[in-house]
Structure 1
């Protein structure tokens, strides 16, 4: 190979770097010369490490670029840079320190440096007072750990780094602790370190004395995982299809009642499909992976009682404690008495505090612990001395708490709150009705008889709700409808076969036999009527027996058969019809919202702030909204349909612009005359004709 411009190579490092990568053997002598120059520069640099050194930056970059070409000569080069950074990390100039870090990353990408050695060094460098360097190192650490766990989890490496990270959280340097926590949180969000060990290490940061670190850890447990919506899983065949009810409505006699029932079934089917299509409101999050949530909740509450942090930080802590209590069914009775002092209408962020009270309620909390909270709500919010919005928010909060702990509301207080269903303000009225609707599903016996609504088959199946009782069914509810449908189909087939046989018989005139048969038929009708009455009385007496029979049939179907998608669709349609089929007389009512059976893990703030009210606007705001709606719309009024706007107009168009006195006589002609006026006009006309003759 012909070598040119050898005299310029010692000064032109990028050119020498390019030539060495092409032919390392031919340019080994020049490399050794630069390597000796690098060693001399290092010795001189250590005399003044706080000064910038451009020569050292160029030589470090050059050595890192050609390190793979001369592995023997540069075997100690990575460790030499690491020792230099560990010795002078805080004294180095920012540009020199950044350049050496980039060279180390380059060596790591070429697998000339162990990942543990480099990452431990970078974690130590987070103590430096250099924000740009810390951000650069954070991005590299996250990317490097993610790439190392791309194909498979490197358990050994992850364990080593997590131990080192745990020690970093106890460091005295604020920047190092905060950056280490941010790295762990980002790795969890990227599903790299999403194990229980990482979560419990982050949980220790909730008790840090550094406010920034504590707030970052609290926000981590308050955040949600991104909702994963898979469009492929949604199948239109799994929807509740009300076509059976529609077909029955077509075949049967058309009545107004059947039409109303059909519309209700359609709405219920749409609502059921909407609930199925919605993603889970709170996916598998970090708060589920805690080893000892009870201990964490107790420590957070103890820390909250003695802290002097800002009110926003206190709200975050209250939120985390409420989620711990609600998700893990914890017992922390002091929490309810602590949060009770903030339940005032004038309190800042009072709706969020009510949300925390609802999130901390669950079925296992004793009712006498939650009852003082409900009484405080009733006394401070649901009184006529407050505005209607405050009363509605109080009723909504009571509903959300009772949906999770129904036994906490006494019968007297429930009936007092139910009386607001006829309140003059719509928002209070609707909030009270939603509370009544909730207890229709859970404990209708606490309501007044007129508030229980029309009894249906679904309401008859409601079991008594006791403290600590778990409603775990060993069968598919409503599966008994499959057997009843099969029996009805068999009866139809038998009737069709018997009907075909009857057609073959020939009628014979026998007057005496006909008279006897008519008398027998009348006797049979009377017996049927009496029998049906006895059956109705028997049904009223043995309602529990009927429910037990349905349960037995449902268990039989669940055990003996493998249910298909078509079977589940039939069961869903039957369960919807149960909410419409009445079992007794009662007043009409609207469809029911199954809030008790569809409660989510978290309480939405919009459920408490939900106020049914049309907001009032002043005249100026209404005029502005009207004008905004008129933008881009054609001008209202007469549309001139002429092709040529300069052509003449019709007499009708001209008449609109004339003075009324000019066309008054023409307008009067079009006035309809009475019958008497017509007679007078006809008489005058005939007289005139006679005179003309």
Structure 2
């Protein structure tokens, strides 16, 4: 036993195990090792750039047993911090990594304050050691996440955020870039998702360091997760992998069933990962900026004087356009600047058109956006360009007018609408989508033949003016809640009877004919004049009744909204009623089909696919599709069984020859080897012995 104890000073893992079990019995060995550590540190400081394996082992040994001797090792963490602060850029990479690992171990045992360690690690980000920087970044993110796991530590977060703000202004490129990456990662993990973090990252957009500026711009260009993706795991149609696995065990095993099982397993694994992810918010970071107008003006000023790459300019334009569109900002110099890039040959021109649409909103004066629409019409929507270019131009006009309907005048709109009968389908569909948009917003700008049949929804459209706010104190369509399923609203039946009565009335042509035939008869002419006047009165009466009906519907909707707590079923009925208004003819009460191209609602951001949405004619002819398939097969290896022989003229194996033989020849081998019973084996053995006896 004494011999074993003599080996403990040289066997640190065994000593570490014994100390953790019984610290009091091995205090002398600990004191000996601690003294050895202090002597080694003194020698190490004479040449800190040299690696020292003994020092690494002693430091990790002390970090592992620090909780066993808290009084003796109370100054040990500060001693390690002092070594890193004094020789941080001079230390050997292995020694520096060992010191950081030891401090993290002490931090996990709550023997070190989090602020001291995190501030030290932020300073170490200046070191020219990529592995160390990645290691420290992961620890910083994990440590801050754990500190805010149960509840937000506001005091600590404020201290660290202020320190991050100073790090962004650091002259060291790597330290500044790493601090931005850490804040972005903490925001994505919903640890630092407050407005202060967003505004600290926003200052990085004006950094002189390109990498920091690009990282900050990309942060504000992040996309929000779709609601569909977040609801996939909770859908009722979700396939249960356990049911599929049980069915695979019971049913016949085929290659198709096995392939389906593997696919379901992958989907189940993906769904589990999505459930374990941190919850996401339904808004982007652009909404949390304190001064969006000032940020947009600074970014635009920086854009005008910058000489950076074109990709960086595109990102800056994207952020500016999002700020303008989401916050309804005024930055009139932005539109002439982006107008210069609106050429079909311009690189990334579809993104330029996307930015112009994103920067449009109802509060921008129409005369500011009107030059952009004219530029699109002159440079894109002309027959000297290809059909795809024309369709993209029309799509861009539609997206701009969707957000700022007052920007286009009547003459330009009617010129663009003429492409509804263009020979190319992509241009024709783009023009028709523009017609559908203005049918729902400003039908008075369209020609009478392009407005379509009037519906109840179009009769409720109010004329638009600049700065006018269409605020209602009721929910449109809520009047449907005041009627039961088996009865009709009284005002609807009243309006239908008026329409039928108006259809049977004599038209103005009849009045003119009668007056021309009996022109000499003054009494008849007088009666005809009275008939035409009566018709005008009927028109006025009908218009008055329609306005009264709209007023009654509005009062009923207001009553239903204010006097009742609406449920989900009520909102579904309201939505169905609003859809019915879009297909119900306001004159005769008959229904018509929904428009071919539905009108899209204006979203916060413009999708690039909406600009590049080009309708292509499918190849319906079978012969054309076959030719396309044959064209794709040229130069491709022959599909099917591949012969593995190096020489195609050499013989094949018996197994390969067996595949081409007649079944009658292979019939006797079809059964293969069958396990015989004990009796069959006895009979076979007897026959075999008899055969041998006869041969003798």
* TM-score bracket for this pair, using the shorter chain length: 0.7 to 0.9
- Measured in 1, the distance between the counterparts of 2:489 and 2:308 equals 74
Residue number in structure 2 paired with 1:604? 607
- Measured in 2, the distance between the counterparts of 1:161 and 1:94 equals 26
Relative distance call for 1:295 and 1:595 in structure 2 (3 A) is: farther
Matches within 5 A, 1:99-114: 99-114=98-113
Matches within 5 A, 1:15-54: 15-54=14-53
How many residues matched? Answer: 551
Residue number in structure 2 paired with 1:230? 231
Matched, 1:362 2:385: no
| Contact persistence 1:42–1:56 (CA under 8 A) | yes
- Measured in 2, the distance between the counterparts of 1:533 and 1:298 equals 58
The C-alpha deviation readout for 1:238-283, integer Å capped at 9, x for no partner, is: xxxxxxxxxxxxxxxxxxxxxxxxxxxxxxxxxxxxxxxxxxx993
The C-alpha deviation readout for 1:573-625, integer Å capped at 9, x for no partner, is: 22222122212379997523796672110001011101111378898644246
TM-fit CA distance, 1:225: 3.4
Relative distance call for 1:434 and 1:173 in structure 2 (3 A) is: same
Matched, 1:407 2:414: no
Query: 219-228 or 101-110, which moves further after superposition?
Result: 219-228
Matches within 5 A, 1:85-234: 85-228=84-227, 229-230=230-231
Matches within 5 A, 1:425-504: 425-485=424-484, 488=487
Relative distance call for 1:598 and 1:3 in structure 2 (3 A) is: farther
Residue number in structure 2 paired with 1:327? 326
TM-fit CA distance, 1:540: 3.4
- Measured in 1, the distance between the counterparts of 2:489 and 2:318 equals 59
Relative distance call for 1:486 and 1:609 in structure 2 (3 A) is: closer
Residue number in structure 2 paired with 1:546? 549
| Contact persistence 2:335–2:368 (CA under 8 A) | yes
Residue number in structure 2 paired with 1:576? 579
- Measured in 2, the distance between the counterparts of 1:200 and 1:593 equals 45
- Measured in 2, the distance between the counterparts of 1:118 and 1:609 equals 51
Matches within 5 A, 1:274-353: 283-353=282-352
TM-fit CA distance, 1:464: 1.0
Residue number in structure 2 paired with 1:623? 630
- Measured in 2, the distance between the counterparts of 1:235 and 1:584 equals 43
Residue number in structure 2 paired with 1:559? 562
Relative distance call for 1:573 and 1:20 in structure 2 (3 A) is: same
TM-score (norm 1): 0.75
- Say which SS state the counterpart of residue 579 (structure 1) adopts: helix
Relative distance call for 1:193 and 1:72 in structure 2 (3 A) is: same
TM-fit CA distance, 1:631: 8.5
TM-fit CA distance, 1:458: 1.0
- Measured in 2, the distance between the counterparts of 1:115 and 1:180 equals 17
- Measured in 2, the distance between the counterparts of 1:108 and 1:202 equals 28
The C-alpha deviation readout for 1:397-425, integer Å capped at 9, x for no partner, is: 00000000000000000000000001111
- Measured in 2, the distance between the counterparts of 1:554 and 1:349 equals 48
TM-fit CA distance, 1:570: 2.9
Relative distance call for 1:489 and 1:225 in structure 2 (3 A) is: closer
| Contact persistence 1:453–1:588 (CA under 8 A) | no
Q: Which runs of 5+ in 2 are unaligned?
A: 238-279, 491-533, 641-661, 666-696
TM-fit CA distance, 1:563: 3.1
- Measured in 2, the distance between the counterparts of 1:216 and 1:88 equals 31
| Contact persistence 2:388–2:426 (CA under 8 A) | yes
- Measured in 1, the distance between the counterparts of 2:465 and 2:57 equals 78
- Measured in 1, the distance between the counterparts of 2:460 and 2:430 equals 26
- Say which SS state the counterpart of residue 49 (structure 1) adopts: coil
Q: Which has the higher contact order (CA 8 A, sep 6+)?
A: 1
| Contact persistence 2:299–2:320 (CA under 8 A) | yes
- Measured in 2, the distance between the counterparts of 1:100 and 1:449 equals 81
| Contact persistence 1:403–1:596 (CA under 8 A) | no
TM-fit CA distance, 1:471: 1.9
- Measured in 2, the distance between the counterparts of 1:533 and 1:171 equals 80
Residue number in structure 2 paired with 1:60? 59
TM-fit CA distance, 1:95: 0.4
- Measured in 2, the distance between the counterparts of 1:235 and 1:120 equals 49
TM-fit CA distance, 1:359: 0.3
- Measured in 1, the distance between the counterparts of 2:488 and 2:235 equals 32
The C-alpha deviation readout for 1:69-122, integer Å capped at 9, x for no partner, is: 111111100000000000000000000000110000000000000000000000
Relative distance call for 1:646 and 1:4 in structure 2 (3 A) is: closer
- Say which SS state the counterpart of residue 550 (structure 1) adopts: helix
TM-score (norm 2): 0.75
- Measured in 2, the distance between the counterparts of 1:318 and 1:3 equals 77
- Say which SS state the counterpart of residue 74 (structure 1) adopts: coil
- Say which SS state the counterpart of residue 5 (structure 1) adopts: helix
- Measured in 2, the distance between the counterparts of 1:123 and 1:455 equals 67
